[in-house]
Amino acid sequence: MRKAIACIILLLQICFLGACRDKTMKMNDPKNIRGVISYKRSFGDLNDLHLSSAKSIGITPISSREEAESMNGDLVLIENNEYYQVDSLTHSLPYLVPKAADLLASIGSNFLDSLGAKGLNPNEVIVTSVLRTKDDVRKLRKRNQNASDNSAHFYGTTFDVSWKRFYKVEDGRPMQDVGSDTLKLVLSEVLRDLRKAETCYVKYELKQGCFHITAR
């Protein structure tokens, strides 16, 4: 009797482990991931386009954090949530105009939906740069002389999303690492579709490792 019970327990354990293995494989068996033909060609919107849109729907450039914090209604505070993570910002502030904040949420939501549809574990995008004040640019130029004093980041319409790093979401399912190259391909599809819908301009930044995005 004991041997029979032991055999049953062993069989149940084998079935459980097999189910977990199958589930993990299904969740990381990518399907229909095409990406874009060329990042540079697909996301080549130059600064003039970003600036034109930023000036038309954004705020007047401000000098300090205190000004940003006082602009209730004109600017929205963006924080870590179920759609994206905000990096430790050293030369920008986590504020966007409402239209840009909605765009960022759409990117994060669409990215998660696309990962699920393609059989990949959930990951969130990471925002690396947002609103820059004149004080921010002055400090940044001490380290980087190429930092622009004519940037769309001044207007609260523009943010950068990393294509190198992503935030892995722990949701109780068996986890298996998904390469950043694969996640980059999926993100590029999301941005391509939003750009085609004329909701944003996108510039592929190779050295900075990000997509530079401005709401339209």
With respect to residue 180, please indicate whether it lies within any of the assigned structural domains: yes
With respect to residue 21, please indicate whether it lies within any of the assigned structural domains: no
With respect to residue 88, please indicate whether it lies within any of the assigned structural domains: yes
Each residue's pLDDT tens digit, 125-148: 999 999 999 888 888 776 665 566
The total of structural domains in the chain comes to 1
- pTM for the complete prediction? 0.83
Region 60-73: mean pLDDT is 90
Q: What span, in angstroms and rounded, lies between the C-alpha atoms of 62 and 197?
A: 30
